[in-house]
Amino acid sequence: MDKMFFWMTDPPGSGQIALSTWREYLASMASVSLVAVVLGVGVIVFLYMRSASAMRVRVWSDVFKTYAPNYWLLLSLLGFFGMGGYAWMDYSTLGEGAVGAEFVAFQIAVWTLFWTALLSFLIVCMPGVTPPKFRYRPYAIFVSGRGVRK
């Protein structure tokens, strides 16, 4: 599992923590991150679907309203802060040789945020998740230039 953070091969601080301890730490963080990603994606997609299916187009100007369900993707930040905090605290218990805790925690938090946000985004773009009437709204930024009248 420690291979998940493949770029963090050596502990920071040039050998002040035993390599085996470092790898155990990474494996533990990988497991927790994986659970955090799965839970995070599940919660985000659930809330997104509920929000999107409740959204209605009742008058023609509703078409131009901000697509609020997209905001649920920002919940990925909870994973960033949550995982980051947990990684920092757990790293700090590794002893006086555990230097660079902030940077280690930051990397793990970014990894969690990245996968949570990416997987959530890909899932909400799938047919059946976003209502057909809002098909292009999750990735509007990529299609906003299509079909525009010059």
Partner 1 sequence: MNTLICAGGTGTRILEAILHFCAAGLGPGELRVLVIDPDGSNGNGARLRQLLAKYLECQKSFNAGGAPGSFFSTRLDLLESEGQATGLKVWSPVGKSQKFNEVVNYAMLPKGGENGLDHKDLVHLLFTEDELGMPLDVGFRGHPSVGAAAMGLLSLFQKEPPWSILAERIRGEVSQADGSHVMIAGSVFGGTGASVIHPLARFIHGIPESNSDRLTIGALAVVPYFQFQASAAGDAADAEKAAKSEWFALATRASALFYHHLRENGDWHFDSMYWLGDPSLTPVPAFSSGGSKQENPSHVTEFLGAVACIDYFNRRPGQKACYYAGPKMSEDDQRRSSSAIHWDDIPSMSLDPAKLKRRMLGFLAAGAMHTGFLHPLMEDPRTDQSPYRIPWYLDRFASRGDHLGSSENLPKLRALSDFFAQHHFRWWREILSDPAGRIRLVNPLALHEANNGGVVADIYQLANFLPERPGAVTADKVDSFFTDMVRSAGTAPDVRGAPGYLSLLAHSAEKFTNREYFDQAESGTGGR
Nearer to partner 1, 3 or 135 (CB): 135
Best CA proximity match to 55, nearest among 42, 41, 71: 71
Q: Which stretch binds partner 1 (CB under 8 A): 4-12, 77-85, 87-95, 135-143?
A: 135-143
Residues 54-83 binding partner 1 (CB under 8 A) are: 56-61, 63-64
Please tell me the distance from the alpha carbon of residue 124 to that of residue 18, in angstroms, as a whole number.
Answer: 42
Q: 2 with 27: CB under 8 angstroms?
A: yes
Nearer to partner 1, 14 or 59 (CB): 59
Q: 103 with 88: CB under 8 angstroms?
A: no
DSSP-derived letter for residue 99 is -
Q: What is the nearest approach in angstroms of partner 1 to the Cβ of residue 86?
A: 39
Residues that bind partner 1 (CB under 8 A): 56-61, 63-64, 131-137, 140, 143-144, 146-149
